[in-house]
């Protein structure tokens, strides 16, 4: 192992990686310097990649690309190690819902093919990538409307359930109390061999029947609500992913807008310097304040 290399230090550096070219190149040079530890570097990279949010996965792919291209003079160690994990990493960004997230691996594969990073394997990567992308696009077709239909349908099933849950819960709770009393009476053996035995049996059978019916109806109600929760979580995950993409795009656009404004001023442009509206932020604050 090369002097100064530490997997924990690398993990910290990877966790702080962002989309700027400077941070990617700086970390790439550090990894190339420790090329003797390429296996540990790639293993750590792979772990961080699969634990990272979508926008950071793109930066990590750019980092892998930079490492492979700049380490070739030190041998093919990094290329061989990355070849083991890159296919799964590409699959990790295939489910991204926007063209940007999907185009990044396509551009990288083109670079690897053009510069013969993986030699003949690059074409295989490309073929597999587009095959999987086509499958996923078919799966995601009309996802938004289908997701809404699932939520609405499952919610209607809950509302239109054949049993009234409040009545069911009260009836079940009463049966639980009655059975506990019967069980306590049986434990005291006060009815065995007495004239109350037949009455006890009749009451026990009645509570047994109520509990059986309650269990069956509770299971139906539980299943309906579990299905609703499942579809709500699917919809929530879908929206959270879209919010991540929007925030990532905002983070990329805002500093560039600011720099463009500065350049316009520096060049003496009379272009209106109107700031982007905060209407979306105000709307979000209103929603939160009424929640």
Q: Which domain, by its residues, includes 250?
A: 144-272
Q: Band the pLDDT of 114: cuts 50, 70, 90.
A: confident
The Cα 260–Cα 208 span in angstroms is 76
Do 12 and 137 fall within a single domain? yes
Tokens 């290329």 belong to: 79
Closest CA to 52 of 14, 6, 20: 14
For residue 276, the 8-state DSSP code is P
Q: What is the pLDDT of residue 134?
A: 59
Do 46 and 169 fall within a single domain? no
Global confidence as pTM:
0.46
What's the mean pLDDT in 157-162? 83
Q: Which pair of structure tokens corresponds to residue 194?
A: 């007495």
The Cα 125–Cα 94 span in angstroms is 13
What's the mean pLDDT in 2-10? 82
For residue 26, the 8-state DSSP code is H
Q: Which of 32-46, 202-216, 262-276 has the lowest mean pLDDT?
A: 262-276
Do 118 and 199 fall within a single domain? no
Yes or no: say if 66 and 77 are a contact pair by the CB < 8 Å rule.
no
Average pLDDT of every residue of the chain: 80
Contacts 24+ apart (CB under 8 A), 127-132: 128/87, 129/90, 129/94, 129/105, 132/91, 132/94
Do 191 and 258 fall within a single domain? yes
In a domain, 238, yes or no: yes
Q: What is the pLDDT of residue 86?
A: 85
For the chain, what percent of residues have pLDDT higher than 70? Answer: 75
Q: Which of 8-17, 81-90, 212-221 has the lowest mean pLDDT?
A: 81-90
What's the mean pLDDT in 231-256? 83
Provide the CATH number for the domain around residue 62: 1.25.40.90
Do 137 and 158 fall within a single domain? no
Do 117 and 69 fall within a single domain? yes
Q: What is the pLDDT of residue 121?
A: 59
User: Which residue, of 141, 161, 179, is where some domain finishes?
Assistant: 141
Do 114 and 157 fall within a single domain? no
By the 10 Å C-beta count (0-12 exposed, 13-18 middle, 19+ buried), 238 is classed as middle
Do 41 and 167 fall within a single domain? no
For residue 263, the 8-state DSSP code is H
Q: 7-15 and 21-33 are packed helices; what angle lies between their axes, rounded to 10 degrees?
A: 170
Do 36 and 137 fall within a single domain? yes
Q: Which pair of structure tokens corresponds to residue 22?
A: 């400077």
In a domain, 242, yes or no: yes
pLDDT tens, position by position, 175-211: 999 999 888 887 776 555 666 777 888 899 999 999 9
Q: Which of 10-19, 24-33, 110-119, 121-130 has the lowest mean pLDDT?
A: 121-130
Q: What is the pLDDT of residue 173?
A: 94
C-alpha separations of 42 from 36, 98, 165, 285 in Å: 12, 27, 55, 43
Closest CA to 68 of 125, 40, 28: 28
Do 131 and 20 fall within a single domain? yes
pLDDT at 265 over 80: yes
Reduce the DSSP state of residue 142 to 3 states and report it: coil
Do 26 and 38 fall within a single domain? yes
What's the mean pLDDT in 241-245? 78
Q: Which of 100-104, 111-115, 245-249 has the lowest mean pLDDT?
A: 100-104
What's the mean pLDDT in 60-78? 91
User: Which residue, of 141, 168, 202, is where some domain finishes?
Assistant: 141
Q: Taking the CB of residue 44, how many other CB atoms lie within 10 A of it?
A: 19
In terms of pLDDT, which residue wins out, 234 or 138? Answer: 234
Report the largest interatomic distance among the alpha carbons of the chain, rounded to a whole angstrom.
107
Reduce the DSSP state of residue 160 to 3 states and report it: coil
**What total of structural domains would you count in the chain?**
2
In a domain, 103, yes or no: yes
Q: What is the pLDDT of residue 142?
A: 52
Closest CA to 51 of 19, 82, 23, 14: 14
Q: Band the pLDDT of 237: cuts 50, 70, 90.
A: confident
In a domain, 127, yes or no: yes
Within 71-98, residue ranges assigned H as helices are 77-94
User: Which residue, of 101, 125, 141, is where some domain finishes?
Assistant: 141
Q: What is the pLDDT of residue 17?
A: 92
Do 91 and 214 fall within a single domain? no
Q: Which of 69-73, 115-119, 160-164 has the lowest mean pLDDT?
A: 115-119
In a domain, 22, yes or no: yes
The Cα 216–Cα 221 span in angstroms is 9
Reduce the DSSP state of residue 38 to 3 states and report it: helix
What's the mean pLDDT in 116-129? 65
In a domain, 287, yes or no: no
In a domain, 234, yes or no: yes
What's the mean pLDDT in 46-68? 90
Q: What is the pLDDT of residue 285?
A: 56
The Cα 176–Cα 5 span in angstroms is 65
In a domain, 279, yes or no: no
pLDDT at 214 over 60: yes
pLDDT at 279 over 60: no
């Amino acid at each position: 192992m090369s002097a100064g290399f530490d997997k924990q230090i690398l993990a910290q550096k990877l966790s702080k990686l962002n989309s700027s070219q400077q941070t990617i190149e700086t970390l790439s040079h550090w990894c190339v310097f420790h090329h003797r530890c390429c296996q540990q570097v790639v293993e750590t990279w792979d772990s961080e990649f699969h634990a990272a949010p979508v926008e950071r996965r793109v930066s990590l792919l750019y980092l892998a690309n930079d490492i492979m291209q700049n380490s070739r003079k030190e041998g093919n160690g990094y290329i061989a190690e990355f070849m083991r994990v890159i296919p799964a990493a590409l699959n990790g960004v295939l489910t991204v819902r926007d063209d940007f997230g999907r185009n990044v691996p396509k551009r990288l594969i083109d670079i690897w093919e053009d510069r013969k990073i993986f030699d003949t394997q690059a074409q295989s990567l490309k073929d597999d990538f587009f095959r999987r992308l086509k499958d996923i696009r078919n799966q995601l077709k009309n996802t938004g409307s289908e997701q809404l239909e699932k939520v609405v349908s499952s919610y209607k099933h809950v509302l239109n359930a054949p049993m009234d849950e409040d009545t069911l819960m009260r009836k079940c709770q009463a049966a639980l109390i009655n059975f506990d009393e019967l069980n306590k009476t049986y434990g005291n053996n006060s009815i065995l061999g007495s004239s109350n035995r037949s009455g006890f049996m009749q009451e026990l059978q009645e509570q047994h029947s109520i509990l059986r019916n309650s269990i069956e109806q509770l299971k139906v109600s539980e299943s309906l609500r579990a299905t609703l929760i499942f579809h709500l979580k699917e919809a929530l995950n879908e929206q959270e992913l879209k919010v991540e993409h929007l925030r990532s795009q905002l983070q990329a656009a805002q500093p560039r807008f600011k720099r463009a404004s500065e350049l316009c001023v520096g060049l003496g442009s009379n272009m209106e310097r109107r700031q982007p509206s905060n209407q979306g932020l105000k709307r979000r604050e209103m929603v939160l304040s009424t929640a």
